């Protein structure tokens, strides 16, 4: 483990306490790759990647999104305040306003994070060469894994219609497009008879509805790890949608 040789910036450096703590953590956890950094008079970069200041700012924003998402899930978007989010992070409201102008901007970024997690999970499922049921179960597992790692993602599902009116059409368009892709995946399972015949919309609504409740009870230091929860949700989806193994070829598993 690297030694604690990176000192916290002094008070006169112009950084807030939050910036100072993040600076220390950022340098500490990248100690092993520091030899790959090059320094010039303007920016510090790893290879051809983005400059360090840009990366640090983005990571701090993602930390805020994770905690804000948890707050939205616990008390609801309309009951959440910038003061409450700042308190959760150990920040002043002034420091929080440096990164986001208001809570609606945080919510919109949570939407982006939510779509990012959902699309990544679906892409992984579609890349799997397997039955529709197996691919759908993998989607559920990967999606839940992403949610518990980034709680802001789940806030998007809970607070979808809390988006500012001007942003609502775009948010709904993205949501509906993703919903169609996920329904198509369920339909593939129905067609290959690995998923019991049902309306794909019911299966999708059941799964997505169950995952939106995760921020209300999941805690990283709780009884189950994020991977355990993700695995359990994937197994539940498999058992709930699986067609009977004894169904004769060519018959409809859901027929009386």
| Interatomic CA distance for residues 22 and 229, integer angstroms | 29
Region label for 195, one of left (φ > 0), alpha (ψ between -120 and 50) or beta (otherwise): beta
222 vs 217: CA distance, rounded Å: 9
- Note the pLDDT of residue 156: 60
- Report the Cα 72 to chain-centroid distance in Å: 14
8 Å CB contact between 172 and 111: no
> Would you kindly state where each structural domain of the chain is located, as residue ranges?
14-99, 104-241
Using CB atoms within 10 Å of the CB of residue 56, give its burial: 0 to 12 exposed, 13 to 18 middle, 19+ buried.
middle
For residues 152 and 161, the answer to whether their CB atoms sit within 8 Å is: no
The CATH class given to the 14-99 domain equals mainly alpha
Q: How far is CA 236 from the centre of its chain?
A: 20
What pLDDT shows up at residue 198? Answer: 81
Q: Residue 18 has what pLDDT?
A: 46
Rounded Cα gap, residues 97 and 12, in angstroms: 21
pLDDT score, position 183? 97
Q: What is the end-to-end Cα distance of the chain in Å, rounded?
A: 63
Fold of 104-241: Tetracycline Repressor; domain 2 (1.10.357)
Structure tokens at 87: 């308190």
Q: Could you tell me the two tokens for 116? A: 């990012």
Task: Report the distance separating Cα 181 and Cα 186, nearest Å.
Answer: 9
Which burial class, exposed, middle or buried, applies to 230 when counting CB atoms under 10 A from its CB (0-12, 13-18, 19+)?
A: buried
What was the pLDDT predicted at 111? 86
Closest CA to 100 of 44, 48, 51, 62: 62
* Residue/partner pairs of 245-249 with CB below 8 Å, 24 or more apart: 247/193
pLDDT at residue 53, rounded to an integer: 60
Point out the residues of the chain with pLDDT beneath 70.
Answer: 1-55, 152-159, 246-256
Cβ atoms 36, 46 nearer than 8 A: yes
pTM: 0.70
H or E, element range at 120 = helix 103-127
- Helices 132-149, 103-127: axis angle to 10 degrees equals 150
């Amino acid at each position: 483990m690297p030694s604690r040789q990176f000192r916290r910036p002094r008070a006169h450096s112009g950084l807030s306490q939050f910036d100072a703590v993040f600076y220390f953590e950022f340098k500490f956890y990248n100690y092993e790759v520091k030899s790959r950094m090059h320094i010039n008079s303007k920016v510090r970069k790893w290879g051809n990647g983005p400059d360090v200041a840009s990366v640090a700012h983005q990571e701090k924003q993602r930390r805020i999104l994770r905690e804000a998402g948890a707050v939205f899930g616990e008390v609801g978007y309309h009951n959440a305040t910038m003061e409450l989010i700042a308190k959760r992070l150990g920040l002043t409201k002034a420091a929080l306003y440096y990164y986001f102008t208001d809570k609606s901007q945080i919510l919109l970024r949570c939407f982006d994070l939510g779509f990012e997690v959902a699309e990544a999970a679906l892409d992984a499922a579609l890349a799997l060469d397997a039955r529709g049921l197996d691919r759908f179960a993998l989607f559920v597992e990967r999606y839940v894994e992403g949610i518990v790692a980034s709680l802001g993602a789940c806030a998007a599902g809970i607070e979808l219609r809390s988006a500012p009116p001007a942003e609502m059409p775009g948010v709904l368009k993205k949501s509906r497009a993703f919903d169609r892709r996920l329904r198509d995946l369920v339909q593939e399972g129905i067609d290959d008879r690995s998923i019991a015949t049902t309306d794909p919309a019911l299966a999708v609504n059941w799964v997505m509805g169950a995952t939106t409740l995760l921020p209300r009870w999941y805690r990283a230091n709780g009884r189950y790890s994020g991977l355990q929860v993700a695995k359990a949700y994937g197994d539940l989806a498999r058992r709930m949608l699986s067609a009977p193994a004894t169904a004769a070829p060519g018959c409809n598993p859901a027929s009386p």
